[in-house]
Chain A
Amino acid sequence: MNAFSLRAPSRRALRGWGFALAVLSVILPALPLGPLFAQPPLPLAVLWAAYGWAAEDESGWRAPLTLALLGLLHDQLAGGPYGLFVLIYLSAYLIGRIAAVAMSAPNLVSLWGGFIFTALLTILIVVGVERLLAPIAVVPYAEAALITAIFFPLVRPLYMTAGASVRQGSRR
């Protein structure tokens, strides 16, 4: 019977799957595989990673560096100006840090609300870039960000824990 018992995947395995999903969301839209693999409708999984890593690994240098590298790769593949996705992902990381400090006992609803807020702020950042720095299309990004926000509860375990124990000490 033990052979058939289901064991919950370890935290490390979940994080590995989350990282793989983030990388795939950068690479897949660049391959000519058809409209289903464009962005949108594919979500921006790196936004999930940025928000989750901000809450879970906020003091390390690996998270921002990984996000910057993923952003540069995304910029290269998408042909957009270098730095645009770096700015978006790192902004989500910094906003996620503020949200992590602000939320004392997060549950799924508050985490979801925090992520929606983060996604909306990244849309505002894109609007600012469009107005001030470079002519880019805002509407498709807004669609992709909204899709990403809607699917957040489904993938949340891959990036962060909803329990309060991990985040205790955020509000000291």
Chain B
Amino acid sequence: MARRRSGVRRAGAGRRVPAGVLLAIVLVIGAVALIVARTSLGPSSDAVMQAGDDGAAAAGRVATGPARASEGFFSRLGGMWGATDRIEELEQENRELQAWRELAERLAERNARYEALLRMPADSFGEGADIENSIAAQLVLDSGGPFTRTLVANAGADHGVRNGYIAVNENGLIGRVVSVGRRASRVLMLDDYNSRIPVMGEASRVRAVLAGQATRPPELTTHPYQVQAPRMDFIVGAQSLREGERIITSGDGGLYPRGIPVGVARRQNDGSWRVALAAAQRPIDFVRIIPYVGVVSPEDEPVESEGPPLASSSSVAVISRQTMAPTATIPSTTAPPAQPRPRPQTPAQRPASTPAAATPPAAAPTEQPADPPPAEPQE
């Protein structure tokens, strides 16, 4: 009601501040104190927020249940329209992808042989991450607010989630767990204003820092969900970075494992670089929370070894022998024969725990490679 009580000054009465205004002023002071306390203590120490996340996650599951059910129904209903055209389109796309697959397998085999020549360690997905013990969870709450970009997943300390674990979906990196309740955890997303992640170009190896902006660039229209395109800062060797190059985590700093796909580099009109996040290709629903133990640091004490690290069989020596013209001598009979190439592994044969990105497929056995297989170096 609009009755005026204490706000009206009577003749002769002193100026009085209404009770509502006094209460509001007191509450404003309390709010400022809360912000200061939160800033000084840090988000990980906020037990009240974690407990609140548990309750909010439970309510979110109930609230989004009907929405999720109806979403599937309407998408199926909509999919019935033009299903024939869609099938033809997919078949055409499938034929094109078959050709690309053969090319990719040939290139992957050649690349594997080059890496074997160089004796490179495998550039595996999420080096240092405990992928076998990852925890599957479902997104139940999205911050949706203007200030922070976080999401709440329905797995918490009871499920084994801890602060610092990595959240990915089927397309790539989503973020990192910053707060853990008993049955829910909050994930700081890559596009959050406070998110800073060391990344690198997969091909060019250009290092950069991926900085969340929490703004709304045009990429949002092409990528349907809330995740947005963060900016790349402090790029080392930016001239080598290429448009459309895949961006992966570099592992620098130890917060994220190395080699997790982040997205694709996109150059802006003003010359800056942004990353179209891979995780934003589809709406984020299920997430995988991966324990990250970090790469083991070298021992403080030097380890006893039989010889110098670069012995006569080192990769440097191997390369020099391979690039030198062969001498006109009869090959030694003691030289080991060239090993047959391994049979290609189909996805069904591949171990379930091994991510697809870790093992590039080999070529078909009937396929003749362009270059002869390298012989083992003679000692």
Q: Which residues of A contact B (CB under 8 A)?
A: 27-35, 37-40, 42, 56-65, 67-68, 71, 74, 76-84, 86-87, 90-91, 93-94, 97, 129, 133-137, 139-141, 143-144, 161, 166, 169-170, 172
Contacts and interface: CB of A to CB of B under 8 A. Distances in A.
B8 interface: yes
Interface of B: 1-2, 4-9, 18-21, 23-25, 27-28, 30-36, 38-39, 46, 48-49, 52-53, 56, 60, 63-64, 67, 139-148, 150-152, 179, 186, 192-194, 213-216, 220, 224-226, 283-285
A33 B25 CA distance: 36
B7 A59 contact: yes
A145 to B, nearest CB: 9
B215 A139 contact: yes
Nearest to B19: A61
B38 A83 contact: yes
**Chain A interface SS verdict (over half):** helix
**Chain B interface SS verdict (over half):** mixed
Given A31-B142, A32-B151, A79-B186, A86 B24 contact: no
Contacts of B220: 35
A38 B144 contact: yes
A38 B225 CA distance: 10
Contacts of A169: 4, 7-8
Given A35-B220, A87-B32, A61 B67 contact: no
Given A76-B56, A78-B144, A94 B25 contact: yes
Contacts of A144: 146
A42 B63 CA distance: 19
A63 B20 contact: yes
Contact of B48 (A35, A82, A133, A141): A82
Given A71-B31, A79-B186, A82-B48, 5 more contacts: A35-B220, A40-B216, A86-B34, A169-B7, A169-B8
